[in-house]
Amino acid sequence: MANIVIVGTQWGDEGKGKIVDLLSEYADIVVRFQGGNNAGHTMVVNGRQFISHLVPSGILQNKICAIGNGVVVDPEVLIEEMTYLKEKGIDIGPDLLKISDKAHLIMPYHKAIDIARENKKGERKIGTTGRGIGPCYEDKAARRGIRFVELLDTELFTEILAETLDEKNFYLTHYLNGSPLSFDDIRDRYLGYAERLAPHITHLSAFLSEAIGNRRSILFEGAQGTHLDIDHGTYPFVTSSNTVSANACSGSGIGPKVIDGVIGVVKAYTTRVGQGPFPCELLDETGDRIQQTGCEFGATTGRKRRCGWLDTVLLTNAARLNSLTGLAITKLDVLGGLDTLCICTGYEYRGQRLSDFPSNLKVLAECTPILETLPGWKSDISGARSLSDLPDEARAYIHRIETLTGIPVQIVSVGPGRDQTIVIDHPFGSQ
């Protein structure tokens, strides 16, 4: 038995979905502990592609999947996703999908405010997906959010909605120049969602506690990446929740002593979507080549991802913040064909070398990467299934990452398929 946390180490889009899907085979329960439908996991199984935004990817392995209290849930999106999975032959019944009764609901006014704010900011916009994630977390922190437990109480839900919508409509119309939303429409739709989702809603903390007591293995999956964390990321160009491993506990309702390992997923290069400083960004043919070869478009937004060399300043920062016990490198195959590769080992700022990731974004924006050059490889490595199958240059690249971060590499992905994976040291022990 082991309880493992999976987190992203960069700015999201590291390929966590594939790693979670891979390891779900060895877990009894998979729990999503933060974020909302502003994240997307893409999995390729037996040549079939699946994209999930809320339901943990362990559902493809017929595992019990749970949406934790740290997640903000758009019930319309969740129901659409459940329907999508069911149509693909995936069992999505109440025995396999659990929803914490303490998870907060994304309401229509959250999405309306999100979009209107970005429009009002113009060139100063943050780059939000417009899905209401931030405004929902705001209401949660302000103690005026609506949870699933309130949704199941028709009288209480109606009372809270009436009070809240009055304030939101005033803000939408008088400050954001938007249109007011209909109370009757929202009430009727959400009470319909309540009826549809009620069988899935549970006291998740108690459920997980019982499972741990029965020595069942749990895989905790996060969304986005470490440097989009609301506290530790490149603020304000971040998401609205804690993406680091510590939130696996508070976002699920379990204590830290039950966690046995934390796997950090790192792309073999670095990407970023949206605004914010990116010291290793490649604004040249190499960056374009990586972007095209790696199909670097957001699974949720379709936005083109900015690409650059692997940044171990970023990665080492993530290792410390998450107490990483191992790394999973993804998309190593994308780097094939390049004559040389570069790894950022530090930043230069006004003539000084920085080894730590700066908190001040003005400083970060002025940093230039200190690059170490390594030889590339020409061969196609997508068929590799062990380290010995890889060319010497690829093995040297992996070893250099381990040396620079001090974290062992446990998994290497060489393609999108589940089988296109090299497992060096299994996180769930000997398999």
pTM score, two decimals?
Answer: 0.92
Q: H helices of 97-182, where?
A: 108-121, 133-141, 148-151, 154-174
Burial of 61 (0-12, 13-18, 19+ CB in 10 A): buried
pLDDT on residue 50: 75
Q: Domain end: 258, 276, 307, which one?
A: 258
Verify that 11 and 154 share a domain, yes or no: no
pLDDT on residue 61: 87
pLDDT on residue 301: 64
Residue with tokens 């966690």: 259
Which residues, given as ranges, of the chain have pLDDT below 50? Answer: none
> Is-contact 276 367, C-beta < 8 A?
no
pLDDT on residue 341: 98
pLDDT on residue 246: 97
pLDDT on residue 39: 67
Distance from C-alpha of 205 to C-alpha of 221, rounded to nearest angstrom: 16
Domain count, the chain: 3
List the one residue out of 83, 89, 27 whose CA is nearest residue 55: 83
Q: Domain end: 171, 196, 221, which one?
A: 196
Helix/strand number for the chain, H first, E second: 13, 20
pLDDT on residue 43: 66
- 428 domain-assigned: no
> Is-contact 253 31, C-beta < 8 A?
no
Distance from C-alpha of 223 to C-alpha of 229, rounded to nearest angstrom: 10
Verify that 146 and 249 share a domain, yes or no: no
Amino acid 288 reads: D
Verify that 212 and 304 share a domain, yes or no: no
CATH code for the domain in which residue 240 is found: 3.40.440.10
Rounded-to-10 torsion of CA 73, 75, 81, 85: 110
- 40 domain-assigned: yes
pLDDT on residue 27: 96
**Which domain, by its residues, includes 24?**
3-100+201-258
Verify that 81 and 205 share a domain, yes or no: yes
CATH code for the domain in which residue 339 is found: 3.90.170.10
- 83 domain-assigned: yes
CATH code for the domain in which residue 191 is found: 1.10.300.10
> Is-contact 253 208, C-beta < 8 A?
yes
Q: Domain end: 210, 233, 258, which one?
A: 258
| Angle subtended at Cα 133 by Cα 131 and Cα 137, rounded to the nearest 5 degrees | 160
- 161 domain-assigned: yes
Verify that 183 and 212 share a domain, yes or no: no
Verify that 248 and 313 share a domain, yes or no: no
Catalytic positions, written as ranges: 13, 41
pLDDT on residue 21: 87
Distance from C-alpha of 19 to C-alpha of 255, rounded to nearest angstrom: 24
- 430 domain-assigned: no
Verify that 134 and 247 share a domain, yes or no: no
